[in-house]
Structure 1
Amino acid sequence: MFKRSYFKLFIPAVIAVMMAACASSPSASPSPSAAPQDKSVTLLFNVQSPSIDPHSDVNYTAVRAGVSETLIKVNKDLKLEAWLADKWDSKDGQHWTFNIRPGVNFHSGKVVNAPAVKASLERALKLNPSVKNALHIRDIHADGQILTITTDKPFPEFVSELVHPNTAIIDTTATGELPSGTGPFKVASFRAGSELNLDRNEQYWNGEVKLKHAKFMFNEDANARQLAFQAKTADIVYRPPIESLELLKADSTVKVDSLPSLRTHQLIYNMNNNDLKKTAVRKAFDNLINRDEIASGIMSGQGTPAQGPFLSDFPFSPEYITKQFDLNAAREGFKQAGYTVQNGKVANPDGKPLHLTLLTYQSRAELPLISQLIQANAKELGITIDIRQVDNIDEYLAAHQDWDLATYSSITAPRGDASYFLNAAYMPEGALNYGRVHVPELTGMISQLNTTVNEEERNKLALKAVTLIDQENLQSFLVHPNNVVAYRDYVHNWVTSQSEYYLLTQDLDVN
């Protein structure tokens, strides 16, 4: 029943897309960005950004748009590479020395040296509690091009945390509201939630920048992004609607990339809810999730059912017992938890029927549909779920507690290591711990992981932590979505990355 209603939602959009495609004559002139003399590209992104301050923007727009850069970056193999720091060293995992790359200037013209980097990092620590909690910096000293940092405890993975876009280096002395970074593009103008216009950085430290101009536009409506791409007002569209992929692939002037991402869609449980704080209730509720339908139906095969937070080929992913959609198992689970299932309703031990509020958001078009599927399955068992769509999910989850469940999507292993997600989602002060998870045994495991150097031992500790997360069903992990991008065939050197951190680069070009 749900599958039929799901496809009905998209029939008008698909027809509109096909009409737009038919209206475009094969002999129509290419978009202005295809003209060699212009050398410009327009990218249409799926999440709106109210800010491009790299230290506070949860959408990482400044780094994605090539405006600002971090000390360290991660390559396509998820290995660390030098960026604004050309080398680094630590003898004990607590005292770190970085050599700041010479010959780099900010867009403002100011030289990038250790004091400038120190000022930028200190600004990030002050503005963003998540950065402060992630970096564990005790003090920073700067001398010429040498930056020394001491963490408050041995922290072997400290360098990998400096890959995070919220640690990007900017000129803190620059005037105005637009960031002065070091990247291949300077900010020309910015309209919050609408568009970011960029000009080539003629003095870029790393060599030639192919494009003269670029535009980074935002639209959370997947069908609107698709129609803009069909109308050739955008050259690259990030996450087009999945049901349009076959239509896009049939167009010889379009290239489509689809590859497994490091992202996981998940269902967050609010542990302040008296029912959901019980492990047995969360386990019973997990049986209401049809992961196969999510992956094959809603995601049209552009995703893999998720058994846990990480892809199965990571060494810290356990051998899971495959999670099945099973109404009878859910019913029995609730009964074992002391709940009654009768008269078509699930009621808690106090006799109160389960009535939950589920938050979702539009920028990932599949999440509202996944929410509807969960709602429909829960209704079969007599559980009422009210779905509420919010504009900025991170801001809402951080500021409000008037919700019980939330669909959410996050990159869980952006550097190929488990520590980022474990710290962010399960430590008491973690930036993504929206469900208020606090399990002392898990906190101890993650704390030990944070001070362990040996990679094999780290993987063992991470495996234990992930196993405990699974045993307690602290979250329900739904699907690992593919990262899907469509772009015109005249766009060259586009790279669809698993990390999703780097989009507009110096090598991006048009013919």
Structure 2
Amino acid sequence: MPKIRLICFLILSMFIFSGCGSDSETADSGEKVFRYGTTAYGVEMGNTGLNPHSDYSGWSAVRYGVGETLFKFNDKMELEPWLAAGYEQLDDYTVKITLKDGIKFSSGRALDGQAVKQCLEHLIAVHDRAPGDLKIQEITADGQTVTIKSAEKVPALLNYLSDPYGAIIDMDYGITDERNVAGTGPFIATKISDTEIELKKNPNYWNGNVGMDKVIVTEIIDGDTLTMAMQSGELDAVQGLPYASLKLFRDSDRYRISTTDTSRCFFAQLNLENPILQDYNVRRAIAMSIDKKSFTDNLLHGNGSAAVGAFPSNFAFGNESVTAPEFNLQEAKNLLAKSGWNDTDGDGYVDKNGQKLTIRWLTYPGRQELPLLAEAAQATLKQAGIEVIVNNTANQQDFLDRGEWDIFASAFVTAPTGDPEYFFTTHCLKNSAKNRGHYYNEELEQLAQQLHAEFDPHKRAELAVKMQQIILDDCAFIFASHLKMSFVMKSNVTGFAAHPSDYYEITAALNYN
């Protein structure tokens, strides 16, 4: 390891971990302390603090056991009650939610309909995404019930309320200058900064005994430092290790790894403003020249699953329901030849009318998987006769705005609320904000309207499958891999598991033997 990284680790240990106490000190004090290092908390993620009504800080509130939502997702990403006892759909625009009895905020206030009403009204008044998702027109409260009326049909309303921005907090307690809140979760924050959160047990938690007395969540963005901190025993668990480091822990009985597929997908959009990419044969040839299995098995060291469509196999509308062009370099060459692209000068790349087939591949370094995907695609597309020029830049938006790209590869959580509509409305429709390649399909637009008005989850899944198949058949989007979320922990840690939603981490069940 370079000397500078060793120095960084030693400094980090002195400033972060020295105040946490060793295992023996924990034993002497009688406190159970859990030390957690993660790359997923910090200013760059927009999730510092615990105020769910600000940016993505709701993810931190829910992840770290301070806030809870009315409903939550199980391991199959199906909705189930959490703070709510149940609901009744009064009509296409109105839902009545009944709350569980006996729940209190950490402030001591009882959870009731009025508290939920206050919280949600503040949310839609100040949040950037929630108003557009929820489309709430009116909220009324009566005892342990809250009734929400939407301005238009929102079949996925309960899913949206399960987004971490929907964590219910006590608005009478308010939001402190330190960005702390009073939630209903098993933990209460005692200290908050842009790089660390300290939590203590909520002694009056409503949903069972809380296993840990104290939790310390620390942002560590350097992969080597994170790895060394786990190896040295300074941390009890980590999230975000470099893939190459995972093998250090996989075969040791000192550690345990929890892994699950998530809906974070690494995928490419094709720029249909480029006349060359308006040729279906060229698009399909590109799709057939990307070796997804090799990418996930070799470059991701098995920490991803090869994608077919937008959603992983553990979703009802996931991979197993759709088909996409398979990796086949010879067939890709045949398709290019059908459209007049042949290697006439023997340089290894196909050309047509004196023009080499060159693709500008735009991506960014913020996700460690994306530069690896660019590298893999560049190698296999070269074998098909297509030159790929990679632009891996943190300023990707500038190139998108100027249209200086042919393929844009990015990472996106395609179903953050367990519902398929979100991906299509953000990326695939005529007016989608992230439809960067100006893709358009009339049948897709019509199915999207049906999906927006359909309440039955099984019918929504069927529509999602049809819509995925359309964009896959058009070869306007190429889905490479679904991220596998991995938590590494000491072997004595229990109640700490990766979840496909990427929302739930620190819970009352967290403990160690």
**What amino acid does structure 2 have at the position aligned with 1:32?**
S
Identical pairs, percent: 26
Which residue in the other structure is 1:217 paired with? 218
After TM superposition, give the deviation of residue 96 of structure 1 in Å. Answer: 0.5
User: 1:232-381 residue pairs with structure 2 within 5 A?
Assistant: 232-270=233-271, 280-312=281-313, 314-316=315-317, 317-326=320-329, 328-334=330-336, 343=345, 344=347, 354=358, 356-363=360-367, 365-379=368-382, 381=385
Of residues 371-380 and 235-244 in structure 1, the stretch that sits farther from structure 2 once superposed is 371-380
User: 1:23-422 residue pairs with structure 2 within 5 A?
Assistant: 32=22, 35-36=26-27, 37-50=30-43, 51-52=47-48, 53-55=51-53, 56-57=55-56, 60-172=59-171, 173-180=174-181, 181-192=183-194, 194-270=195-271, 280-312=281-313, 314-316=315-317, 317-326=320-329, 328-334=330-336, 343=345, 344=347, 354=358, 356-363=360-367, 365-379=368-382, 381-390=385-394, 404-413=406-415, 417-422=419-424
Q: For 1:230 and 1:106, how far apart are their aligned partners in 2?
A: 37
After TM superposition, give the deviation of residue 494 of structure 1 in Å. Answer: 1.4
**Residue 511 of structure 2 is aligned to residue 491 of structure 1:** no
Aligned equivalent of 2:474, options 456, 472, 475: 472
Q: For 2:199 and 2:432, how far apart are their aligned partners in 1?
A: 33
Gaps of 5+ in 2: 10-19
Query: Against the structure 1 CA distance between its residues 318 and 101, is the aligned structure 2 distance closer, same or farther, given a 3 Å change threshold?
Result: closer
Query: Against the structure 1 CA distance between its residues 390 and 117, is the aligned structure 2 distance closer, same or farther, given a 3 Å change threshold?
Result: farther
Q: Does the Cα contact within 8 Å between 1:67 and 1:185 map onto a contact in 2? A: yes
Q: Does the Cα contact within 8 Å between 2:58 and 2:167 map onto a contact in 1? A: no
Q: How many residues align?
A: 482
Q: For 2:185 and 2:431, how far apart are their aligned partners in 1?
A: 31
Q: For 1:177 and 1:270, how far apart are their aligned partners in 2?
A: 44
Q: Secondary structure at the residue paired with 2:225?
A: helix
Question: What RMSD, in angstroms, separates the aligned Cα atoms of the two structures?
Answer: 3.6
Q: Does the Cα contact within 8 Å between 1:359 and 1:403 map onto a contact in 2? A: no
After TM superposition, give the deviation of residue 418 of structure 1 in Å. Answer: 2.9
Of residues 175-184 and 285-294 in structure 1, the stretch that sits farther from structure 2 once superposed is 175-184
Q: For 1:273 and 1:413, how far apart are their aligned partners in 2?
A: 29
Which residue in the other structure is 2:16 paired with? none
Q: Does the Cα contact within 8 Å between 1:267 and 1:476 map onto a contact in 2? A: yes
Which residue in the other structure is 2:510 paired with? 508
Which residue in the other structure is 2:17 paired with? none
Q: For 1:276 and 1:367, how far apart are their aligned partners in 2?
A: 22
Q: For 2:386 and 2:353, how far apart are their aligned partners in 1?
A: 15
After TM superposition, give the deviation of residue 72 of structure 1 in Å. Answer: 0.7
Q: Secondary structure at the residue paired with 2:209?
A: coil
Q: For 2:382 and 2:39, how far apart are their aligned partners in 1?
A: 31
Q: Does the Cα contact within 8 Å between 1:331 and 1:341 map onto a contact in 2? A: no
**What amino acid does structure 1 have at the position aligned with 2:22?**
P
After TM superposition, give the deviation of residue 98 of structure 1 in Å. Answer: 1.2
Q: For 1:387 and 1:361, how far apart are their aligned partners in 2?
A: 10
Q: Secondary structure at the residue paired with 1:90?
A: strand
After TM superposition, give the deviation of residue 403 of structure 1 in Å. Answer: 5.3
Q: Does the Cα contact within 8 Å between 1:49 and 1:59 map onto a contact in 2? A: no
Q: Does the Cα contact within 8 Å between 1:42 and 1:216 map onto a contact in 2? A: yes
Q: Does the Cα contact within 8 Å between 1:220 and 1:362 map onto a contact in 2? A: no
Q: Secondary structure at the residue paired with 1:91?
A: strand
Q: For 2:113 and 2:354, how far apart are their aligned partners in 1?
A: 61
Q: Does the Cα contact within 8 Å between 2:284 and 2:325 map onto a contact in 1? A: no
Which residue in the other structure is 1:462 paired with? 464
Q: For 1:213 and 1:402, how far apart are their aligned partners in 2?
A: 50
Q: Does the Cα contact within 8 Å between 2:287 and 2:325 map onto a contact in 1? A: no
Which residue in the other structure is 1:7 paired with? none
Q: Does the Cα contact within 8 Å between 1:360 and 1:371 map onto a contact in 2? A: no
User: How far does the alpha carbon of each residue in 1:83-112 deviate from its partner, in whole angstroms, 9 at most, with x for none?
Assistant: 222221113342101123444443444444
After TM superposition, give the deviation of residue 487 of structure 1 in Å. Answer: 0.2
TM-score normalised by structure 2 residue count: 0.81
Q: For 1:252 and 1:384, how far apart are their aligned partners in 2?
A: 44
Query: Against the structure 1 CA distance between its residues 267 and 496, is the aligned structure 2 distance closer, same or farther, given a 3 Å change threshold?
Result: same
After TM superposition, give the deviation of residue 461 of structure 1 in Å. Answer: 1.7
Query: Against the structure 1 CA distance between its residues 32 and 257, is the aligned structure 2 distance closer, same or farther, given a 3 Å change threshold?
Result: same
Q: Secondary structure at the residue paired with 2:147?
A: strand
Q: Does the Cα contact within 8 Å between 1:281 and 1:333 map onto a contact in 2? A: yes
Q: Secondary structure at the residue paired with 2:67?
A: coil
Q: Secondary structure at the residue paired with 1:499?
A: coil
Q: For 2:418 and 2:252, how far apart are their aligned partners in 1?
A: 35
User: How far does the alpha carbon of each residue in 1:181-228 deviate from its partner, in whole angstroms, 9 at most, with x for none?
Assistant: 332222333332x22222223333334322222122233443332222
After TM superposition, give the deviation of residue 255 of structure 1 in Å. Answer: 1.0
**What amino acid does structure 1 have at the position aligned with 2:489?**
Y
Q: Does the Cα contact within 8 Å between 2:76 and 2:314 map onto a contact in 1? A: no
After TM superposition, give the deviation of residue 441 of structure 1 in Å. Answer: 2.8
Q: For 1:499 and 1:200, how far apart are their aligned partners in 2?
A: 24
**What amino acid does structure 2 have at the position aligned with 1:387?**
N
Q: For 2:62 and 2:352, how far apart are their aligned partners in 1?
A: 47
Of residues 50-59 and 343-352 in structure 1, the stretch that sits farther from structure 2 once superposed is 343-352
Q: Does the Cα contact within 8 Å between 1:49 and 1:57 map onto a contact in 2? A: no
Q: For 2:432 and 2:382, how far apart are their aligned partners in 1?
A: 33
User: How far does the alpha carbon of each residue in 1:426-458 deviate from its partner, in whole angstroms, 9 at most, with x for none?
Assistant: 356667656565544323212212322334433
Q: For 1:442 and 1:237, how far apart are their aligned partners in 2?
A: 41
Q: Does the Cα contact within 8 Å between 1:189 and 1:196 map onto a contact in 2? A: yes
Q: For 1:336 and 1:274, how far apart are their aligned partners in 2?
A: 16
